[in-house]
A and B are shown apart, each in its own frame.
Chain A
Amino acid sequence: MANRTQSIIRAWPGLVAAAVVVALTLGTLGAVALRSEGLGSLGPSDWAALRFTLIQAFLSAVISIVVAVPVARALARRQFVGRAALITLLGAPFILPVIVAVLGLLAVFGRNGLVSILFGWIGLAPVQLYGLHGVVLAHVFFNLPLATRLILQGWLSIPSERFRLAASLGLCARDVNRVFQRPMLREVLPGAFMLVFVICTTSFAVALTLGGGPRATTIELAIYQAFRFDFDLGHAAILALLQFAICALAALAMLWVQIPNASGVGLDRNIQRWDAQAGFHKIADIAWISIAAGFLLLPLGMIIWRGIAGLVDLPPQIFAAAGRSVLVALTSAALTIVLGLSLTFGVVGLRSRRVLAGSMESIGYLAIAASPLVIGVGLFILLFPIVNPVVIALPLTAVVNALMALPFVLRMLVPAVGQIESQFGRLADSLGLIGWARVSRLHLPRLRRPLGFSAGLAAALSMGDLGVIALFSDPDRATLPLQMYRLMAGYRMETAAGAALLLLILSLLLFWIFDRGGRVDVDA
């Protein structure tokens, strides 16, 4: 385009941020590789863990998607009171602490849960949630809404005029399915499947709480056990390499299929539809929407219901843990924003050199396929000679959490900055607005909304995280999710329920405050 004798925005903060991300992901991996035992040391239980990891991820992805297709179709073609609220709710599991959701699911599907009580009335044995089906159920709880949103996005990408045309040509529901839904699903489903699969291979907290034992241990859980219980660093390291291999393969597969964008802007938009007005279509849609809503709302409702009782007499160490968690979350959010902005502006500053800009952006997405436990083991190996990692468990948690939130934040910021440049870039160029002046006068004010949302997301994710902290912590440095896990492991369910409600409130509050901060007083 223009003849640039100087770059409009300096790229060095982006280069520094990229170096930090590479050091944390690939650097820690190198440390793990150096410390690792040979492949031959992997025993039958390790291979069982590998098998279990893949099977549960595959089942979770398949079930999430198979259910999401009719739910998304129902949401796309029905208008009803509460539709917008339900679609917003579909975004909630993303910032819901995993351990809170697990407690909610136990309250519905666990031994003393609603379903078991119901079964008791009709003389059936109570169900229990531990094992493969529990892990899969929890993963579906988290990923069914994600898959639904992705497919709904696909529906909304079909111009509304086409449905009008379809109606004028008299296409029935089955024709609409053939003409619109099938091609759309062919485009969206492979990416959605891969995304859910990858998320499920690296999810640690679900396996920690609902898995375990020889038949339901994931690799991540095996790393944790080798590290924490057997103190076998070499074995933890080879398992970490195995985990990385899975992630790397999945990441390669993700490059191969197109990953749909789950930004979710304007998802609650209504499209006027004329097809599928017959009664049985309506009933089927109502059924799917009710099932999905019930599946999401019941566990959430149970958290609140059982939590209120426990909330009143929470022991003081819970509040101390909550304070630590809030600090970690705020630090992590700040780090994410600094890294995210640096990389984003690096990409803009280097845009005349496409390859460099492209690789800088890809580096930011590295963390999608990185596992917090692999990074944690690597950091332990690197830091142990210098400092006791347990002492800096909380700062480490904040750093790793920031890294994990980075891909989501970049997905928000990079397109936003691109749009600002395409809309106001020429005006800014003509006024000689370059460097810091461009960033502070043009970009930051216009980025307030995505920045607020990103910071809220990063803070909430960090607030609810139960990953690296489980590797390093001692009782004096526990975060709220970890404290909650200990209560659950000690069968102190009432206190755990109170802590869960507190954690839920704090996570949502952090998200709300940041998101709100980005919204108030923003002009078009």
Chain B
Amino acid sequence: MLTLEGMEHQQDSFHLSASFSLETGTTTAVIGPSGGGKSTLLNCIAGFAKPRRGRVIWNGEELSALNPGERPISSVFQDNNLFPHMSCFENVAIGLRPSLRLTGDETAQVRTALIRVGLAELSDRKPAALSGGQQSRVALARVLVRQRPLLLLDEPFAALGPALRGEMLDLVAELAAVSRATLLMVTHDPSDAKRIAQQTIFVEAGKVHPPVATLDLFAAPPKALEQYLGVDQ
């Protein structure tokens, strides 16, 4: 279980506070206006931002003292998820061994992961020779080999078209389900949340609302969320 206990973050005049828990194995969407603090929330959990107060706890273990790489977390960012000078294979392998010196067993793991995301044929290519969707798949293959129990996605598919984005989300949901990973996903599109997230957290103006069942939330949105979504929704 992921727990944020009285967490508060301050950056210049922007203040973010969060207190909530997520059950292991659940998928949660984070939605809200830009500049509201969605990415900051993820940065605090991943260790890229240092909260001023409160604790981030995973299964009873306090994470605050750990570097980003030491946390039980895989992150997929909006962009720059791949090193352009490395092949697909190396980009996945570096998630397993920063030195890239793999044992035979680990090499097999990387190959399996690339097969799982449907890129077995392209493993020697470099990112520049891949489409946007394929690049996302490489990042997901790396998530697979890292086997970290908590997965943070910060709108990684925002640049993809609607159909491709749906496909990617389904792949993420499938991978998370198989490895029983806990998934936290930032999005600005309600349909993303409805597609794979059982619950949704609404973030606006530095306030993180507790998670609510996704369908319930959008069926009867609170005032602020209604404003964000607009009248059509």
CB proximity of A445 to chain B, nearest CB, Å:
4
How far, in angstroms, from A446 to B46 measured CA to CA in the complex?
25
Return chain A residues, CB-CB under 8 Å to B65: 3, 5
**Pick from A430, A441, A442, A523: contact of B69, CB under 8 Å:** A430
B126 touches A430 (CB 8 A): no
A5 touches B67 (CB 8 A): yes
Residue B64 at the chain A interface, CB threshold 8 Å: yes
**Pick from B49, B73, B85: contact of A430, CB under 8 Å:** B73
Return chain B residues, CB-CB under 8 Å to A3: 47, 50, 64-67
Residue B84 at the chain A interface, CB threshold 8 Å: yes
Residue B98 at the chain A interface, CB threshold 8 Å: yes
Residue B13 at the chain A interface, CB threshold 8 Å: no
CB proximity of A266 to chain B, nearest CB, Å:
19
Residue A434 at the chain B interface, CB threshold 8 Å: yes
Which chain B residue lies CB-closest to A6?
B67
1/0 per residue B126-146: CB within 8 Å of A? 111000000000000000001
Return chain A residues, CB-CB under 8 Å to B70: 432
Return chain A residues, CB-CB under 8 Å to B77: 426-427
How far, in angstroms, from A427 to B83 measured CA to CA in the complex?
9
1/0 per residue A188-200: CB within 8 Å of B? 0000000000000
Residue A353 at the chain B interface, CB threshold 8 Å: no
Residues 430-454 of A at the B interface (beta carbon under 8 Å): 430-434, 437-438, 441-442, 445-446
Which chain A residue lies CB-closest to B64?
A3
Return chain B residues, CB-CB under 8 Å to A433: 69, 94, 98
1/0 per residue B71-92: CB within 8 Å of A? 0011101001101111000000
Interface centre among B49, B67, B73, B74 (most CB of A within 10 A): B67
A430 touches B83 (CB 8 A): no
B69 touches A432 (CB 8 A): yes
Residue B68 at the chain A interface, CB threshold 8 Å: yes
Residue B206 at the chain A interface, CB threshold 8 Å: no
B94 touches A431 (CB 8 A): yes
Residue B100 at the chain A interface, CB threshold 8 Å: yes
B49 touches A2 (CB 8 A): yes
Return chain B residues, CB-CB under 8 Å to A278: none
**Pick from A427, A432, A437: contact of B81, CB under 8 Å:** A427
How far, in angstroms, from A5 to B73 measured CA to CA in the complex?
17
A424 touches B68 (CB 8 A): no
Return chain A residues, CB-CB under 8 Å to B149: none
How far, in angstroms, from A200 to B98 measured CA to CA in the complex?
48
A437 touches B99 (CB 8 A): yes
Return chain B residues, CB-CB under 8 Å to A446: 83-85
How far, in angstroms, from A423 to B98 measured CA to CA in the complex?
18
Residue A283 at the chain B interface, CB threshold 8 Å: no
Residue B48 at the chain A interface, CB threshold 8 Å: yes
Residue B95 at the chain A interface, CB threshold 8 Å: yes
Return chain A residues, CB-CB under 8 Å to B98: 431-434, 437-438, 441
A429 touches B48 (CB 8 A): yes
CB proximity of B72 to chain A, nearest CB, Å:
12
CB proximity of B50 to chain A, nearest CB, Å:
5
CB proximity of A281 to chain B, nearest CB, Å:
43
Q: State whether A441 and B100 are in contact (beta carbons under 8 Å apart), knowing that A3-B64, A427-B81 are contacts in the complex.
A: yes
How far, in angstroms, from A441 to B83 measured CA to CA in the complex?
9
CB proximity of A236 to chain B, nearest CB, Å:
50
How far, in angstroms, from A426 to B156 measured CA to CA in the complex?
14
List 7 other contacts, CB 8 Å, given A4-B67, A5-B67, A427-B83.
A6-B67, A426-B68, A430-B48, A431-B94, A441-B86, A445-B83, A523-B84
Q: Please name the 6 residue pairs, one residue from A and one from B, whose CB atoms are nearest each other, closest first.
A: A432-B69, A437-B98, A429-B68, A445-B85, A430-B75, A433-B98
26 A–B pairs (Cβ distance < 8 Å), ordered by A: A2-B49, A3-B50, A3-B64, A4-B67, A6-B67, A423-B80, A427-B80, A427-B83, A429-B67, A430-B46, A430-B48, A430-B68, A430-B69, A431-B94, A431-B95, A431-B98, A432-B67, A432-B69, A434-B98, A441-B94, A441-B98, A445-B85, A445-B86, A446-B84, A523-B85, A523-B127
